[in-house]
Amino acid sequence: MILTICYLIGSVTFILGLKMLSNPATARKGNLVAAAGMTIAIIGTIFLYTDEAGNKLHNYGWIFGGIAIGAIIGTLAAKKVKMTAMPEMVSMFNGMGGACAALISVVEFNHLAFSVTPGWHTILYPPEMIGHVLIIILGLIIGSVSFAGSMIAWGKLNGSVKDFSFKGQHIVNILLLLVILGLAVYLVGWMPANSQLIFYVIFALSLLYGVFFVFPIGGADMPVVISLLNSFTGVAAACGGFLYDNKVMLTGGILVGAAGTLLTILMCKAMNRSLLNVLIGSFGGSAKTGGPAGAKQQGAYKEISLSDTAVVMSYANKVMIVPGYGLAVAQAQHACHELEKLLAEKGVEVKYAIHPVAGRMPGHMNVLLAEADVSYEKLLEMEHANEEFPTTDVVLILGANDVVNPAAKTDPASPIYGMPILDVELAKTVIVNKRSMKPGYAGIENDLFFRPKTSMLFGDAKKVLQDLIGEIKNL
């Protein structure tokens, strides 16, 4: 009875925490609420759980040793990670969740073995166990794909894994998936003598499929991939909840799976692309670099000096700042916030325009600016920001590229054609801070840089902002 109450508390806190995560002002508190519920559920399971025979958990040394090691590693990783490395850390942690779900399936399948044949166990289970075995296989496949895919995504984001594809790879992927599903149906429905061999073949092929699944997907689609893999991990965890009849594990898995799926759909909508197109399009991969949109001649661009930038921004009525991955690379969020406060002291209205897929993971820019204590009310989503650009005097783009590229609206040959963008061109003046004229993560040139209203301000974002602050103070 007490354990059921613990699970109920955990489930309720998960739902409340998720609700609070929908608002930046309450997101941190939502994390703490959900974490508290998880702690209650874990402690309740360790000390109150009993199996059908009335046996409690034992080996507390191993249990608390594992918890301590995981807590120490997780805490150190979270504290030391740079904001630029946050996406790959999220991918790695998500992959660990998938690995746990897959290992649960391995353990539970081996528990079904009760006789041994040369080399492999023969799994003989009654018909009423078919549903149980089906859940085990689903958890194995989904968890393995999530783990392997997340590790490749982690490698791509930190630069250790390059985009890789070969002719007909998508066909190979489909065939591999069909083989996995076919073996799963054979194992569940026919209970072959070499069941454990087939089980581990499914395990290996699922890991291979997870690698091949993410390999051809381009770097610019990584936010969508991370969100999709996160939903996979949630579904795999929910399978574990079914296996153990654990209500809180089931609830948590369903919430993660549903939230990840909805976020994936929303991000695809923000890019005006279907999920299928994301998975097979290789958008942002090396194959796109130098394509038609990236290769055409654009003409000349013009530069602007720091002193001129300081004057233009100081005497503006409204300034919109568009953050991008370049801001995260330069660790310039605090300097950006300082610039915002300085302009506000001069009577300038300053807001931030946030594109849904800016950065390398969902909400990357929101997290980045929240770290610098930027007011949540100043962060405008794309739809609201686009309404304010026509009345904006100056737009300052800091390291953003593809999310402001007019080619998405004007060039049918561009890979990003049709993707909703921030309409920065509607402002009176556009100033773009970049290190160089190199293309963005999607590998295509930005038409915006050559438009009449646009001026380029080259340099590292942090240094440029610090120098700009100095220039404004000297006016």
Query: Which of 321, 401, 397, 389 has its CA nearest to residue 357?
Result: 401
pTM score of the predicted model: 0.80
299-474 CATH choice from 1.10.357.10, 3.40.50.1220, 3.90.550.10, 3.40.228.10: 3.40.50.1220
pLDDT by residue (tens digit) across 40-96? Answer: 999 999 999 887 778 888 889 999 999 999 999 999 988 888 777 788 888 999 999
Q: Would you give the DSSP letter of residue 55? A: P
Instruction: Tell me the DSSP string of 285-354.
Output: STTTTT-HHHHS------B--HHHHHHHHHT-SEEEEEE-HHHHHTT-HHHHHHHHHHHHHTT-EEEEEE
Tens of pLDDT along the chain (475 residues)? 899 999 999 999 999 999 998 777 788 899 999 999 999 999 999 999 887 778 888 889 999 999 999 999 999 988 888 777 788 888 999 999 999 999 999 998 888 755 444 444 455 566 667 888 899 999 999 999 999 999 999 998 887 888 777 888 888 999 999 999 999 999 888 777 778 889 999 999 999 999 999 988 876 677 788 889 999 999 999 999 998 888 899 999 999 999 999 988 888 877 777 777 777 655 555 434 344 344 445 568 899 999 999 999 999 999 999 999 888 888 899 999 999 999 999 999 999 999 988 877 778 888 888 888 898 889 999 999 999 999 999 999 998 888 899 988 888 887 778 888 999 999 999 999 988 877 765 567 888 999 999 999 999 999 999 999 999 999 8
| Residue 402: active-site member | yes
Could you tell me if residue 418 is left (phi over 0), alpha (psi between -120 and 50 degrees) or otherwise beta? left
Q: Which position among 163, 221, 402, 447 bears the catalytic label?
A: 402
Helices (H), 85-194: 86-111, 130-158, 169-190
Q: How far apart are CA 353 and CA 365, in angstroms?
A: 10
Contacts 24+ apart (CB under 8 A), 109-114: 109/133, 109/136, 109/140, 109/196, 109/199, 110/196, 113/196
Q: Where are the domains of the chain?
A: 1-80, 88-281, 299-474
The pLDDT tens digits for 361-398 are 778 888 888 888 898 889 999 999 999 999 999 999 99
* Gyration radius (Cα) of the chain, Å: 26
